[in-house]
Structures are given as C-alpha cells and as structure tokens.
C-alpha cells in the first residue's frame, strides 16, 4: 500500500535517529563482510533416500549437537509432530538428497526445499549460531549502514511466485539479496516454511533449551501465569517537528494489547511512572505468557526514553531499560514467556558476545522460551504524516509488523509459534508489497529489510500455551 510523506525530510530523520543511537551505543564488534557465494561446486553425492516418510519438523544441527537433540525428537513425536534430525554433515554428504548449491548456505536451502517437496515439512529448526550453521548475509545497502546482515527468512522463502527455486540472487552474480544503487536482486520474500533458530554455541546451551522446550510444552497448559502479558514502552522518536508528541512505545504496545483480550495486561509505561528495571524483573519473575518491549535497542540493551525526553542517558538514569547484565536476575523457572523486542538489533547473533535475544532464551531456570527481534537496525513510522489521525508508528514499519504477531495469535488463534511468525511476515508483505523499481532509502527498501531481519529464536513448532 503506497503512502506519501508530507514532509520528505521525515524519512531521513527517523533513520538518522536510529543511526545516532546505534553509533552512540557502539556496535564496533560488527565486522561482517560481503559474503560471496562459493563458486566451486563439490562432487555431487548420490542421494540415498528412497523412503516415503513425511515429517512436520526438520531439525538441522551440526553432528556435535545431534545426540542432545534426541529427547526433543521423542517429545515432539509423542505429541504427533513428526520430526527428523539431520546433521549438517549429512546434508553435505548427500545422505538423503543429492547435494546442490553454490555455497553451504545454498546447500542447506536446497536441502530444505527437498525436504519440503518430498517430506512435506512445515517447520525448520536450525540449532547453532553463525559459527555452527552457515548463515546468509543479505547485501542490502540503504546508504546509512552499508553492512550486510543476516536473514533467516532466506531459508524460509524457498519458492518464488512462479514456483521456481528462490535463490535470492536473481541477477546471478553470486552476491545475495542485493539492493544498492547499482545492483538489485528481486526477491519473493514470502515464507514457504516456518523457520526458527536456536543459535547455540555449545552442547550445554543445546541441553538447556531442549529442556526448556519440553518443560514448556508439557507444563504450561491451564496455568494462570500464562494468561498474563507484560508490555513496556515510553518515548521512542522525536516527533514534535511533525506536530505530534507521541509516546510511540506506549502506543504500539497498547495496540498489541487490543488483540490480547483474554490476558491479564500489565502495562509498564514511562507515562505511568512504573517502568523500571526492577518492575520488568518482578513482572517476568511472576510468570507471564508474553513480554513485548517497544523502544530502542542494540545487541546488549533495550531502553525506553522518559516522556518528553530523547536521551539514552535519561533512560539509564531513570532505569527504564532491560540489559544483558539484568538477565541473571530472572528466576521465573519454567514460567517462560515469548519475548518480542521491537527495537534494533536485539537478535544480532553474529557478534563476539551473545546478543540480548539469545541471552533471554539460553538462560537456565528462567528467561524466555523464545525471542523475536531484528538481526540489525529497524525502522518505525513517526508522527502522523499520512494525516489520518492514527499515529504512523502503529500503521507502518516495525510497529505494524510486531502488532501483527499479537493479532495473529490473539485474534486469528494461530497457536504455533513459527506459524505466527510466518503469517505476520506474509501479512506485512501483503499490506506493503515491495515495489522493486524503487531505489535506495525508499519505503519499499525499508519494508524489505524489516521482514528480512525479523528473526525467531525458538522452536517454530512450539505450541503456544503448551499441550493440554
Ligand atoms: Ca545478486
Ligand atoms: Ca516464497
Ligand atoms: Ca515521541
Ligand atoms: Ca497516520
């Protein structure tokens, strides 16, 4: 859906706001390079697979993790989710399907395609971070960052609308997901399977998250704590020059709550004076089904700015944040929420230190069951530039996408986590179809980034609220 800004400078401004914040907090460890496809094609292996099995869930992990995943397989099968664990080494060796692909990420994607065609899988769980499982870097350059970022949507979007394999390299130059001033790959983007990732870095983390998933699905049903949702937000953007003074984080979370009518709603908002590190901790430790934080973030902190202020220091001073160093104070046990962070880069998992989103999931004896956030910077609408009386932060960009999560769960009654993720992306693309003729810094380019970066750290086949 097209819309025009009244004030052209707006686009530049809201991008810069986020940019300044990121520079301020620093992301110096980010050192990704343009990753080109490996032109060599290994010797083709002979596909050994001759069976007629069907599966619902495909788990892909390196060999070193596969034995620890066996209890998860047994648990899934018990609940009728037909599951297969495939080791990366088996993919490369062509154990089930003849190996295809220009580089390891594409080999994995072809494997997923074959599993989709032959086994009719619906969910794919990647177990391993960027060091353990190859990732696809997308080379979209919006003129502000110019850095490639990771997109797991790549692994979910296996067919284009003509029914062809979608390799995310339509111009065929071995550089994926390009969108800069010169080169462009036209992408389908619509997910065909539901993807989730547990970016585990070692066997201990695999063990922790497997136990958490089993515990969640076995023990959550019928529990009162699940019927709670905690939201937090404050002032996010400087919108006064557009004639408004919205507390964007409050407006976005309030809109999400409209779809969560059967839940007891806890609003931690700066305008209420109740948003603090301590209140976030207390409300999560009580047990809650969902947590939605809308504000600024990077890979180590989420922060909301006090009303009427735009300052990270004010946010720190007023303790309206939740940072990596606060995670060890969570002791919510097996009362595990799905956490959504609407700010930038909370799930940027290609850094030397573990990111905010993963810290939440890999926390033992508490934390989250899953986290959804972005692998790089994101965008929000600012002001009411389309003059329809509705704040643009809930109508466009990241605010809109995150609200769809709650709409699809709360109103559409989709209760499988990966399906909520996939449907929300699908809805976003339907509402804002990408106009591939547009250039750098266009709204379409931003919309493309938002869906590419929105990642699920968790089991895509997770039954929200557990099995009854
Ligand atoms: Ca290309
Ligand atoms: Ca597709
Ligand atoms: Ca504002
Ligand atoms: Ca509006």
Q: Which residues have CB atoms below 5 A from the ion given as ligand 3?
A: 235, 237, 239, 246
Say how many Å lie between the CA of residue 26 and the centre of ligand 3: 23
Phi, psi values for residue 278, rounded to 5°: -65, -35
Q: What is the DSSP string of 395-423?
A: HSHHHHHHHHHHIIIIIT---BHHHHHHH
Q: Which helix (H) or strand (E) holds 248?
A: helix 248-257
**Pure H helices in 32-81:** 63-66, 70-78
Q: Averaged in consecutive runs of 10 residues, what is the pLDDT profile of the chain (468 residues)?
A: 38 41 37 33 35 88 98 98 98 97 98 98 98 97 84 98 98 97 97 98 98 98 98 95 96 98 97 97 98 97 88 91 98 98 97 96 98 97 98 98 98 98 98 97 97 98 97
What residue segments make up the domains of the chain, in order of their start? 9-29+218-457
Helix (H, G, I), strand (E, B) or coil at 264: strand
CATH top-level class of 9-29+218-457: alpha beta
pLDDT, position 309:
75
How far is the centre of ligand 4, averaged over its atoms, from the C-alpha of 381 (Å)?
9
Which ligand approaches the C-alpha of residue 381 most closely?
Answer: 4
- For the record, the structure tokens of 140 come out as 């979209």
What's the pLDDT at 28?
31
Residue 117 is classified by DSSP as I
Q: Give residue 4's pLDDT.
A: 37
Instruction: Name the nearest CA neighbour of 460 among 422, 411, 426.
Output: 422
**Residue 440 neighbours by CB distance under 10 Å:** 15
H or E stretch at 352:
none
Residues 6+ apart with CB under 8 A from 250: 233, 234, 267, 269, 270, 271, 294
pLDDT of residue 312: 84
Q: Give residue 123 CA to ligand 4 midpoint distance, Å.
A: 36
Cα–Cα distance, 376 to 452 (Å, whole number): 10
Q: Is there a contact between 136 and 175 (Cβ–Cβ < 8 Å)?
A: no
Q: What are phi and psi of 61, to 5 degrees?
A: -150, 160
CA of 117 to the centre of ligand 2 (A): 14
Cα 393 to middle of ligand 4, angstroms: 8
Which ligand lies nearest to the CA atom of residue 391 in the structure? 4
């Amino acid at each position: 859906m097209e819309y025009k800004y009244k004030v052209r400078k707006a686009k530049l401004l809201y991008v810069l706001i986020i940019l300044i914040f990121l520079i301020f907090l620093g992301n110096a460890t980010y050192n990704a390079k343009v990753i080109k496809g490996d032109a060599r094609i290994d010797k083709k292996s002979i596909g050994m697979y001759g069976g007629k099995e069907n599966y619902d869930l495909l788990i892909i992990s390196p060999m070193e993790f596969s034995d620890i995943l066996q209890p998860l397989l047994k648990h899934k099968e018990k609940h009728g989710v037909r599951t297969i664990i495939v080791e990366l080494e088996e993919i490369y060796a062509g154990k089930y399907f003849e190996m295809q692909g220009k580089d390891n990420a594409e080999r994995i994607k072809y494997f997923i395609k074959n599993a989709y065609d032959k086994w009719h899988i619906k969910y794919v769980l990647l177990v391993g971070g960027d060091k353990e499982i190859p990732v696809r870097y997308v080379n979209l350059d919006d003129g502000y960052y110019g850095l490639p970022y990771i997109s797991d949507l790549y692994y979910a979007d296996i067919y284009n609308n003509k029914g062809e394999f979608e390799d995310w390299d339509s111009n065929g130059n071995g550089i994926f997901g390009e969108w800069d001033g010169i080169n462009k790959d036209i992408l389908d983007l619509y997910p065909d399977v539901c993807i989730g990732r547990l970016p585990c870095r070692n066997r201990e983390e695999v063990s922790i998250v497997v136990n958490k998933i089993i515990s969640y699905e076995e023990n959550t049903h019928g529990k009162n704590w699940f019927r709670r949702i905690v939201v937090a937000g404050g002032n996010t953007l400087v919108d006064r020059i557009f004639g408004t003074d919205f507390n964007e984080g409050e407006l976005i979370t309030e809109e999400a709550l409209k779809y969560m009518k059967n839940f007891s709603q806890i609003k931690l908002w700066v305008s209420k004076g109740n948003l603090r590190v301590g209140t976030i901790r207390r409300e999560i430790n009580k047990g809650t089904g969902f947590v939605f934080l809308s504000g600024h973030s990077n890979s180590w902190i989420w922060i909301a700015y006090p009303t009427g202020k735009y300052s990270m220091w004010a946010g720190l001073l007023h303790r309206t944040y939740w940072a990596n160093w606060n995670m060890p104070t969570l002791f919510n046990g097996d009362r595990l929420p799905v956490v959504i962070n609407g700010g930038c880069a909370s799930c940027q998992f290609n850094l030397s230190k573990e990111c905010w989103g993963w810290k939440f999931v890999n926390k033992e004896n508490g934390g989250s069951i899953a986290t959804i956030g972005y692998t790089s910077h994101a965008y929000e609408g600012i002001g009411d530039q389309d003059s329809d009386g509705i704040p643009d932060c809930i109508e466009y960009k990241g605010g809109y996408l995150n609200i769809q999560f709650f709409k699809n769960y709360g109103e559409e009654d989709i209760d499988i986590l990966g399906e909520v993720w996939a449907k929300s992306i699908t809805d976003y693309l339907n509402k804002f179809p990408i106009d591939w003729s547009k250039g750098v810094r266009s709204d379409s380019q931003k919309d493309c980034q938002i869906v590419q970066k929105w990642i699920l750290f968790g089991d895509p086949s997770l039954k929200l609220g557990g099995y009854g």
